[in-house]
Amino acid sequence: MTGLVREAHLARIAEVRAGTAAAKVGYPIGLRELEVLRTARLGPALVRITLGGDGAAGFESHVPEEHVRLIFPDEHGELRLPERDGLSLRWPRPLPVSREYTVRRHDPDTGELDIDIALHPGGLGADWAAAVAPGERIHVAGPPGGPAARAIRSPGPRPARGSAAAEIAALVRGRSIPRETRPHGDHGLSAPRLGRVSATWVHNAPVH
């Protein structure tokens, strides 16, 4: 991608985010190999993976619900990857083994990005997150050139809610009330005060 093309779409994204109306702005879908820099348990059932390294150069994240795909070897140990196709990716068939996760944090200065992964028995991504160590590497596809919009959608997947709440805190004063369908305490997330917005978890009653 040339510098002029990159500057054009970044300028359009900045224009949309400074306005009051939502709009879609396409941007290139990347494929990169990243290094696990560190891991941190956020609770009994949630772990944060911080990725980075040289492969993070050029990574873009513009909306709270931005997501990427982590690509894993298949059952035979073969790692099959998509190929670059212009500004998109061409995925082989059958599809490579991958799991989708929300970008919890991206620091363009350091190139670091955080992925929060819920731990549960038998989950491919969950098992990887529980065992992975700093220095290991993982291929990451995306973000998918999503919308860069001033409008904020929430709730979404649980890891996305924290990212959305942080952006909402910069815009409004109020209370965020995420709804949780799992038993109390299972996710290990606290409900901190974010700027002028406080959050309170509301847990659904058990289904009998």
Per the structure, the complete domain to which residue 173 belongs is given by 158-203
Residue 148 lies in a domain: no
User: Are 106 and 61 contacting, i.e. CB atoms less than 8 angstroms apart?
Assistant: yes
Output DSSP code: residue 183: P
pLDDT of residue 4: 47
**30 and 129 co-located in one domain:** yes
**pLDDT tens per residue across span 183-201:** 444 555 555 555 555 666 5
User: Are 175 and 197 contacting, i.e. CB atoms less than 8 angstroms apart?
Assistant: yes
Residue 126: band (very low, low, confident or very high) from pLDDT cuts 50, 70, 90:
very high
The pTM (predicted TM-score) of the whole model is 0.71
Q: Are strands 67-72 and 97-107 parallel, antiparallel or unpaired?
A: antiparallel
| Residues whose CB falls within 8 Å of the CB of residue 144, separated by 6 or more in sequence, listed in order | 29, 67
**164 and 112 co-located in one domain:** no
Output DSSP code: residue 143: -
**113 and 170 co-located in one domain:** no
CATH of the domain at 45: 2.40.30.10
**117 and 35 co-located in one domain:** yes
